[in-house]
Amino acid sequence: MEQFDVVVSGAGAAGLAAGLTLARALRSVVVFDGGPTRNAQADHSHGILGLDGASPAVLTGTARAEVERFGGTIRPGRAANAVADSAGLFVVTTDDGQEVRSRQILVASGVRDEMSEVPGVRELWGDRVVICPYCDGWEARGSSIAILGTGPKSISQAHLLRQWSDHVTLFTNDSVTPTAEDAARLERRGIRVVDGAVTEIRRADVGDRVGAGVELSVGVEQSAGVEFLVGGRVWAHHIVFTSPRPIPDNRILDSLHADMMHTAAGIFPRVDSIGATSISGVWVAGNAANPSLKYSTALGAGMDTATHINEALVEADVATAMSRTS
């Protein structure tokens, strides 16, 4: 069975940054890619210093090539299980039956977005339906923005998007119930609230017939948009923001009985400030630890945790050397 210093589960921003850092530290590292990344359906990535507007495909392809150029290994498959063996190593098994041994494990498998079941959301995901104001807010500036309600967080999202446009509408979708105070705050900021279940979202060339006659603002370069169907009425907007539930892949951590914690976003591993879990030699970085991280911050988290993994391996190497000379 092959043995590596580190197995990395996930080839997104955090996983590939870790793979590159470890490969450049002359560590043997294998990255199991885990399938498409969270932002694979998007045409562009934004807010990445020096690379704003690059496509996720280009970013991922370039990063993978860099990991391999420095001696890292990238393989298809999703790491699904791990056990500690009698030699103090981990045996990692993928969902397609691959097995490798490693001294350390980094879980960087990100999250899967549990999308709304409203028809049209999946089809428009990453294009007209998006998540992050800091990733797509500038491109939506001045346009008519719809918030598809999924829970209480949608109210905060509506207030946040108001920074980019005066024309924001919150569709409660029978998932958000604003309190009297919430309603007053939304009204004061000029955020329209539309109650009732959204029965469909569909692509449309909305031009200037958005919302209640809101016209395209200066700087908005296209008229593509979406239509919301609510209670027999049609509402036209340029772009939709929503807050899906992030679902991490905790299978490796569960197999090792790592400590987990309940958060507002769901069940996530308990990690310290450097990404270490309750299991010695097992680490977590990126959205797998914190679903709110953006591409750049996930990238930094992957690199930072990888440096601590390398330092842990150095300490283990020192201990081994001392045991041989004592």
CATH of the domain at 307: 3.50.50.60
CA–CA gap between residue 285 and residue 283 (Å, rounded): 7
14 close to 302: Cβ distance less than 8 angstroms? yes
Q: Are residues 68 and 123 in the same domain?
A: no
Order across the sheet with 239-242: list the strands: 129-130, 239-242, 144-148, 167-171, 192-194
DSSP label at 214?
B
Q: Are residues 72 and 93 in the same domain?
A: yes
**Parent domain of 109:** 3-113+244-325
Number of residues in the chain: 326
Residue 213 pLDDT: 41
Q: Are residues 83 and 158 in the same domain?
A: no
Q: What total number of domains does the chain contain?
A: 2
For residue 172, the one-letter residue type is T
Q: Are residues 109 and 120 in the same domain?
A: no
Residue 204 pLDDT: 85
Q: In sequence order, which residues have a C-beta less than 8 Å from that of residue 212 and are 6 or more positions away? A: 192
CA–CA gap between residue 212 and residue 216 (Å, rounded): 12
HSE, side-chain direction, 13 A CA sphere, residue 151? 9
Q: Are residues 23 and 87 in the same domain?
A: yes
CA–CA gap between residue 105 and residue 115 (Å, rounded): 29
305 close to 275: Cβ distance less than 8 angstroms? yes
Check residues 211 and 318 and name the one with the higher pLDDT. 318
Q: Are residues 248 and 238 in the same domain?
A: no
Least confident of 84-98, 173-187, 222-236, 266-280: 222-236
Residue 239 to residues 48, 147, 204, 206, 316, Cα–Cα distance (Å): 21, 9, 11, 10, 52
Tokens of 296: 């750049």
Q: Are residues 129 and 192 in the same domain?
A: yes
Last residue of a domain, one of 242, 267, 285: 242
Q: Are residues 79 and 141 in the same domain?
A: no
Residue 206 pLDDT: 63
Last residue of a domain, one of 242, 273, 304: 242
Q: Are residues 156 and 256 in the same domain?
A: no
Question: How does pLDDT run across 85-96, given as a tens digit for each residue?
Answer: 988 999 999 999
Q: Are residues 198 and 150 in the same domain?
A: yes
Question: How does pLDDT run across 108-131, given as a tens digit for each residue?
Answer: 999 999 999 999 999 999 999 999
The mean per-residue pLDDT over the stretch 274-293 comes to: 97
Last residue of a domain, one of 190, 224, 242: 242
Q: Are residues 121 and 97 in the same domain?
A: no
Bridge partners of 239?
145
Q: Are residues 128 and 106 in the same domain?
A: no
